[in-house]
Structure 1
Amino acid sequence: MKCPNCGTELEEEKLLCENCGYEVRIVPEFDIELEDTLKESISVMMEDMAEEELKSVQDDFEEDIKESISDYFPDRPVRPHRNKKIIIFALAVLLSMSGIAALSSHLVDDYRYNSFEYQYQKAVESAAHNEYSEAVSYLERALAIDSEDLDVRFLLAKYYERNGQQQSTRALLVEILEADHAYPKRDEVYDMLLGIFENQNDYEKIATILRHCDVPRILSKYNKYAALKPVFNKQGGVYDELISISLKGNTTGFVYYTLDGTAPSENSNVYETPILLESGDYTIKAMFVNMYGIASEVETQHYYISLSAPDSPAINADSGTYAEPMLIEAYHDYSTKVYYTTDGSTPDQNSKRYTDPIEMPYGISNFSFIAIDESGLGSEVVNRTYHLEIQTNFSPELALQVLRNNLWASGKLLNVEGNVPNKLGVNQYNVRTLFKANDTIYYIVYEEYKDTMGKVHDTNNIYAIDANTADLFKAYKVNEGSYTLQPFAET
């Protein structure tokens, strides 16, 4: 058997031409010899019928002649003219043969016209000779006989394409895809259809087809043209924890989204980082736009975040007036972090974090504490107001004057106003807190340097002054509320 497309001899039982790749369709072969035999048989049958009919007509004719002549010549035997009989007979035979030939030809033509196998074979033969217009006609007739054969319909689509009938090609390929979702050559049909639109740069049509495609290989091959709905990392629903939502497109492009339930557009938020959802109700709508400018359908997810606020931190020191040093401690759940402020503002995760006990500041101070859990939800704020003050021989102001005098006398200051040698700025001093050791209370004073631009710098110098005797010490902080003291004269 030879390949109908290129003529290469095929090995026995081979259905695929190794030379051109043409897939051979096995159909019953239309036998021309059988056709001729059928035609000859019909002709013989019709001739026999005609001969019998002619003989009958001839006999009747002779009898009529004899009867007619006997009326006029009763005594003489009647013999019809032989030449006249031969002429009549010849005419009858010719007429019969013409009718037989016409009928035979009509029967054969009708057989061919209504034979799926004949029409299919003629289509393949025509295509093998690149006569695609004839191939199309034959295959259309074959499908008129049997329209359910999807392989033949797919072959017709190929013939349409080679014959330059692009519109018919596309329409037929779409019909095949819609006809049977289990068709084994479905991926080839998709490949051919999408290839046509790819050559035409019709990216919108490609994206539309891919939205309804269920063939993984095709989706992977043409993924760059697809504009599928964005994928949310979490499905909508009710959550009892803080969640973050990430959005992802199927290929290179941009995801646009809204949080207020409105339809997204290219003027909406561009997704770049995960979207943090705290307590509340959210409706996120998102769409994807690929690099060909094709927009996907909108994907919508609803979220309700129901969080339980953590307990507020417990503070050991109540608001009030204190006459001795006091450490402020905050107790909280291990899963939370405590933050605080001292300027009257509401604390948050950007405020100073509580890690160790805090020395109660000297004078009046205002603290605000909050506990924040891992989800970012904060507790109610706890506020405290403290007034730390003692009655001693030396007030804080007198104690600071003693310090400045000693620093000036030792050459660390140029004067009691705080000017510093070789610098344009001045040192300033303030009582931060109190320290008690061996029943003696000390003012703890921190030194700071203020430059000409007004910026304050910590000098890391700490001094302790006996509140009753004004004795001066250099102080070294061990931890909150604990210091080591060294007499100033020894420094």
Structure 2
Amino acid sequence: MKCPNCGNELEEGKLLCEHCGEEVKIVPDFDIELEDKLKESINDMLQDMAAEELLLNDSHQDPENKSANDVTNDPSAYFPTESSSVRKLRILIIALMLVVLAVVIAIFTMHSINEQRYHSFDYQYQKAITCAAENDYLNAINYMERALAIRPADLEVRLLLAEYSEKSGQQEKTVALLEEILDMGTEYPKREMVYDKLLKIYESEKKYIKMDSLLKQCDIPHIVFRYNQYMALKPEFNKQGGVYNETLSITIKGNALGTVYYTLDRTVPTIDSTVYETPILLESGDYVIKAIFVNAYGIESEAVTQHYVINRSAPDGPVVKPESGTYAEPVLITALYDAETSVYYTTDGSTPDRSSIRYRDPIEMPYGVSNFAFITYDASGLCSKVVNRSYQLGVQANFDAELALQVLRNSLWASGKLLDADGNLPNKPGSNQYKIKTLYQTEKTIYYIVYEECFDAAGNVYETNEIYAIDVNTADLFKAYKADEGVYHLQSLE
């Protein structure tokens, strides 16, 4: 069918031309059967009138003079002798009946046109748009619902209906329509807008569980990224479960701000389980880690399970020499270990770890009592058992340690470096203290090796890098310079 205004082709059922906007008036085909019935009724009426006239004439004629050929089907044959007034009356009646018939046909036709127009998609859709433009959203909803009933698969109509419902305060209906659009329109080009609108409604109503569920089925990256904080995805492990020949440090993280909970006893974790805060060290054996993530809105993820088998044997501890004991002359402490491992130690007997002092060179045995602890780590982080050593280093001397230190302080006081024999400083607050660290032996004698420490007014303590040597038998004083572990160069203070 073509538009009567512009001549362009129209789609079937369209009442508005998409090219010129002209309303198309469609006159339905007249019912031929009805027309035939009307004609038949008029003809019967005329025949009845003719029959009455015939009977009237027969009443004035001689029956013997009447023949069968006198009867005819032509109605006009029965009115040859009727008066002019009667004839006019009959014509008037027939004309009136034809007018009534025409009016009935016209009313029927207009009613059919209006019915067809009223039930058309275009009519309902345009009425809805017009009402919405006038902010009459209730009527806009009514018209758009009728349009949707005609085209139930039209997602654009559903979206407009959702918009009108939202503006009229019908939030529940709005949500239902938006959900229907997402269920029906996997290829709908406005899905991102629908997701965004629906998620904003859920957000305003604090329906975080619904947000999490909707986001997990969303395949639009922009939307997932924008609302990521509302999702509770399975926590991620830095290492997948499996068999390993090395120590593992397992980290677990969630997809957003929140908390990870885990178990190591094969039970499903809950919010009462251990909170993940630092990496989990797997050294050797069989481990099953189960974890969940709970986001900042209290939404809990599904549990993730990782099974690890660590086939590693601990490295041997270092071979430390000398053995524990009492010593009367300087000794260097050494540790022998595999080149692919590292050794760490402490000097107070506490258990060492990788944050402790790393052993690299022989250690001077401290003067007095000392307690060492050594441990070995391999490249994978597996450690050995701790090796402990206890030493006592002393010397037979004419000047014991305290007397030798007093001689040193008096000498420095006399030279003006100290304010008094207690070690106070002459030019600034604070004092110097002196501590025997070890012994140094030459071919002729043994020396106390003394380190100078400064105690400033703020309470800080630090070494001054001044080292002195005192002959244990003569108390002769020397300035000492360390060349290597256990090796010093001496210079007289005289």
Matches within 5 A, 1:334-483: 336-361=341-366, 366-372=371-377, 377-385=382-390, 395-396=396-397, 400=401, 403=404, 420=422, 432-435=438-441, 437-438=442-443, 440=444, 442-446=446-450, 460-465=466-471, 472=476, 474=478, 475-483=480-488
> Partner residue of 1:186?
191
TM-score (norm 2): 0.67
Deviations 1:138-168 (A, max 9, x none): 3322222221111222233344455565543
List runs of 5+ in structure 2 lacking aligned partners.
1-7, 9-15, 71-77, 415-419
Deviations 1:233-271 (A, max 9, x none): 63563374224445552xxxx523434464339x996x8
Distance 1:427 1:134 in 2: 96
> Partner residue of 1:329?
334
Deviations 1:421-451 (A, max 9, x none): 768999777583352x44x452434367899
Matches within 5 A, 1:91-490: 93=98, 96-97=101-102, 99-124=104-129, 127=132, 132-161=137-166, 165-193=170-198, 201-204=204-207, 207=211, 210=215, 212-219=217-224, 223=227, 226-229=229-232, 234-235=237-238, 237-238=240-241, 240-247=247-254, 249=256, 254-260=257-263, 262-264=269-271, 275-279=278-282, 282-289=289-296, 294-298=297-301, 300-302=303-305, 308=312, 311-315=315-319, 317-319=321-323, 325-332=330-337, 336-361=341-366, 366-372=371-377, 377-385=382-390, 395-396=396-397, 400=401, 403=404, 420=422, 432-435=438-441, 437-438=442-443, 440=444, 442-446=446-450, 460-465=466-471, 472=476, 474=478, 475-486=480-491
Deviations 1:282-317 (A, max 9, x none): 44433222xxxx444336444566664662453352
Q: CA deviation at 1:176?
A: 1.3
The answer to whether 1:50 aligns with 2:38 is yes
> Partner residue of 1:21?
none
Identity of aligned residues (%): 32
Q: Is the 8 A contact 1:236 1:301 kept in 2?
A: no
Q: CA deviation at 1:347?
A: 2.1
- Aligned residue pairs, count: 437
- Work out which of the residue numbers 59, 69, 74 in structure 1 matches 2:47: 59
Q: CA deviation at 1:380?
A: 1.5
> Partner residue of 1:6?
none
> Partner residue of 1:8?
none
Instruction: Please report the RMSD computed on the Cα atoms of aligned residues, expressed in angstroms.
Output: 5.1
Tell me, what secondary structure is at the counterpart of 2:160?
A: helix
Tell me, what secondary structure is at the counterpart of 1:138?
A: helix
Q: CA deviation at 1:406?
A: 6.1
List runs of 5+ in structure 1 lacking aligned partners.
1-11, 13-23
- Work out which of the residue numbers 13, 26, 47 in structure 2 matches 1:34: 26
Distance 1:325 1:346 in 2: 26
Sort the Cα spacing of 1:276 and 1:152 in 2 relative to 1 into closer, same or farther, 3 A: same
Q: CA deviation at 1:120?
A: 3.3
Q: Is the 8 A contact 1:119 1:139 kept in 2?
A: yes
Tell me, what secondary structure is at the counterpart of 2:194?
A: helix
Tell me, what secondary structure is at the counterpart of 1:50?
A: helix
> Partner residue of 1:70?
58
